[in-house]
């Protein structure tokens, strides 16, 4: 079986869309619980809980406790946790900055998109762990998608390539954010800093690592460890990876420019 992970659009599609777009008609007064909150307040409490304790801490009971209401009363506002997760994600997407990128060269525009998404994952680390293969089709996500697609305008890409290129870029940023979160978690669990761990490990490794048997691993591993004072540096990995992602997209962009100019492939 596939691993259990949090996914968007796992709830009822119709009820989720109604909630995302706040299009649900007001129910006539009845015998149910009287509304004392708003959907926005429920979502804000859930996001704050996820930011502080992780997405696994977000239960209907925990959110209700944070708001000082009975757990069953939350179902007046959201059908369940699956739908709540979609609105949480769409809300933080909607809060992202959308600066004017039109005056920047294409690499600068894409770097800005990557930077804004990396900042999102730093503000809300739980977002990086959520699968959006079926995205929450709310106003926050669509505004984000529109803004980020415009960073690729004028580059000669087809519509499908626009979506592919953006997905490729954002996939790298999300993967990088997950790795950075893993490093932060390991640092929080251990008593040694990365520098202390490497200082203790390097001489021990030198005793057992045979350069004659593992010449490349010995040379490269030692150089990388000394450069980063650790086995892995998430900041360096992000900067290196982003440059390679943009280099790869640059090949496609240059190819499309040559095709439009009628220049034979070089």
In a domain, 4, yes or no: no
- Report the mean per-residue pLDDT for the chain: 89
CATH of the domain at 22: 1.10.10.60
Same domain assignment for residues 89 and 114: no
In a domain, 100, yes or no: no
Same domain assignment for residues 120 and 242: yes
Is 33's pLDDT higher than 50? yes
Question: For 3, which DSSP code?
Answer: P
Which is more confidently placed, 198 or 92? 92
Quote the radius of gyration of the chain (alpha carbons, Å): 23
The residue range of the domain holding 63 is 13-94
Q: What is the pLDDT of residues 135-164, one digit of tens each?
A: 999 999 999 999 999 999 999 999 999 999
Mind spelling out the 3-state secondary structure of 87-102?
HHHHHHHHCCCCCCCC
Neighbours of 92 (CB within 10 A): 20
Q: In the listed set 94, 123, 153, which residue is the last one of a domain according to the structure?
A: 94
């Amino acid at each position: 079986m596939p691993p259990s992970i949090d996914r968007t659009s796992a709830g009822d599609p119709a009820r989720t869309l109604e909630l995302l777009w706040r299009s649900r008609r007001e129910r006539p007064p009845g015998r149910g619980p009287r509304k004392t909150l708003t959907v926005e307040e429920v979502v804000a409490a859930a996001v704050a809980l996820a930011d502080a304790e992780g997405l696994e801490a977000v239960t209907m009971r925990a959110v209700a406790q944070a708001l000082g209401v009975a757990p069953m009363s939350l179902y007046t506002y959201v059908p369940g946790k699956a739908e709540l997760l979609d609105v949480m994600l769409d809300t933080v997407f909607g809060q992202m900055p959308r600066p004017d990128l039109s005056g920047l060269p294409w690499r600068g525009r894409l770097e800005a998109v990557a930077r804004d998404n990396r900042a999102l994952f730093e503000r809300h680390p739980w977002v990086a762990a959520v699968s959006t293969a079926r995205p929450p089709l709310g106003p926050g996500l669509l505004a984000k998608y529109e803004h980020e697609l415009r960073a690729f305008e004028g580059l000669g890409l087809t519509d499908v390539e626009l979506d592919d290129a953006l997905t490729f870029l954002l996939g790298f940023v999300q993967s990088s954010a997950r790795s950075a979160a893993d490093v932060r978690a390991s640092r929080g669990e251990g008593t040694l800093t990365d520098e202390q761990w490497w200082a203790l490990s390097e001489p021990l490794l030198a005793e057992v690592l045979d350069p004659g048997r593992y010449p490349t691993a010995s040379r490269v591993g030692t150089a990388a460890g000394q450069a980063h004072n650790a086995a892995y540096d998430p900041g360096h990995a992000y900067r290196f990876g982003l440059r390679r992602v943009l280099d790869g997209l640059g090949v496609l962009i240059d190819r499309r420019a040559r095709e439009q100019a009628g220049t034979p492939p070089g």
